[in-house]
Amino acid sequence: MLPRYLSRRLVLASQSPRRIELLRLTGLSFLQKDPQIDESKQTGESPKSYAQRLAREKATAVMKRQNDDSIVLAADTIVVHNDAILGKPSSAVHAEQMLSRLQGKTHKVVTAIALARTKSGEMTEESCSTYVRVRQFSHQGRRDYIASGDPLDKSGSYGIQNPQFRPATTLGGCLANVIGLPLCHVSLALSDLGMPPSTDVPQACQVHTGYDCPVYQDILAR
């Protein structure tokens, strides 16, 4: 008889290519569904509460469309600078404004994740924060990066993993979190729901990102 978790589906409530790529490192097969929710911030909502609410709402939206025994994984990643959320830029000019604001300074990237069981409605939540210091770059270097199109679909107007632009000088914490999915936190939550990854996730993540992670042992030892 197959282990019970093998009869369940894992559903990623996201169309993000970066989250898809990271989740594959768990060795688990999964489906993808677009949660299609309103991501407007509510009045008086703190950045962390905003991310947590969106992760819950994404998981709930997809869970309601599943009619089998599934685990739905949703995430929301935000860039926070001076308690303000820097979302995806609305234009090239907006991207340049955000990059100018962040360069030479340290900000925080927060990812909230929510996992929901379709049968019971049970929900598990996790969150991860990483501090990022952005390097100084020339006006032309910033313009060239924006012209590449890479920052236009990313919160804070940068891709941490971009090998040409290399936006960060210092990283305090989980790199996968900044990319969009903190895999050790995901692994813990999936294991709690009876669907443990089939790979050595920290090893797979470090090989994939080329980042010698200083925090994975502390996260997994909780």
Q: Where are the alpha helices (DSSP H) in the chain?
A: 17-23, 47-63, 92-102, 139-147, 175-179, 183-192, 201-209, 216-220
Q: Confirm whether 76 is a catalytic residue.
A: yes
Strands 9-12 and 70-81: parallel
Question: Any residues with CB less than 8 A from the CB of 215 and at least 6 apart, and which?
Answer: 173, 174, 184
Instruction: Please enumerate in sequence order all residues whose Cβ is within 8 A of that of 134, keeping only pairs 6 or more positions apart, or say none.
Output: 99, 102, 103, 104, 105, 106, 107, 158, 167, 168, 169
- What is the secondary structure of 16-52 as a DSSP string? -HHHHHHHGGGT---EE-------PPPTT--HHHHHH
Longest alpha-carbon distance in the chain:
62
**Which residue among the candidates 76, 83, 150, 212 is catalytic per the annotation?**
76
Instruction: Please identify which residue in the block is written with the tokens 């990102």.
Output: 209
The residues assigned a catalytic role are 76
